[in-house]
């Protein structure tokens, strides 16, 4: 009987992203289970990344624990986020989370939205 191989982690965090999430979660007004990451339709390129506090783990969430941080991936976003590295960049005039996503096929000029292709698919995601 063959043994199941562990599934690869859907996303990874840089040290900077993990440190920033730990800091943000420590300042949360209410206790949280983790940070939920997803995508939604919007922006001029078609899709935008989303992040929010998660008070509980939903049964369908993809749970990623990396560098002491729990990330919950919305089940509708998993195929768009497989292989993504989440980073945190602080520059002189701005600070933001950055998603280095191999499924990204293009982005708008302002950097607020992206076009994503689901992992294992060659056609861009619907943006309606």
Question: What's the pLDDT tens digit per position in 3-56?
Answer: 665 667 889 999 999 999 999 999 988 889 999 999 888 777 678 889 999 999
Q: Which structural domain range is residue 110 located in?
A: 11-25+32-116
Q: What are the DSSP calls for 24-41, one per residue?
A: HHHT-SS--SEEEEEEEE
High-pLDDT (> 70) share of the chain, %: 77
The CATH number of the domain holding residue 47 is 2.60.300.12
- The total number of structural domains that make up the chain: 1
């Amino acid at each position: 009987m063959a043994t199941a191989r562990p599934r690869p982690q859907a996303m990874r965090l840089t040290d900077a992203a993990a440190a920033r999430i730990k800091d943000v979660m420590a300042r949360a007004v209410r206790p949280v289970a983790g940070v939920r990451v997803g995508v939604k339709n919007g922006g001029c390129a078609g899709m935008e990344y989303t992040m929010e506090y998660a008070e509980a783990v939903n049964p369908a969430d993809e749970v990623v624990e990396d560098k002491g941080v729990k990330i919950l991936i919305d089940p509708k976003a998993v195929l768009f986020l497989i292989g993504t590295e989440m980073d945190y960049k602080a520059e002189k005039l701005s600070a933001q989370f950055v998603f280095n996503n191999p499924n990204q096929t293009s982005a708008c000029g302002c950097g607020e939205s992206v076009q994503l292709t689901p992992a294992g698919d060659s056609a861009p995601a619907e943006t309606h």
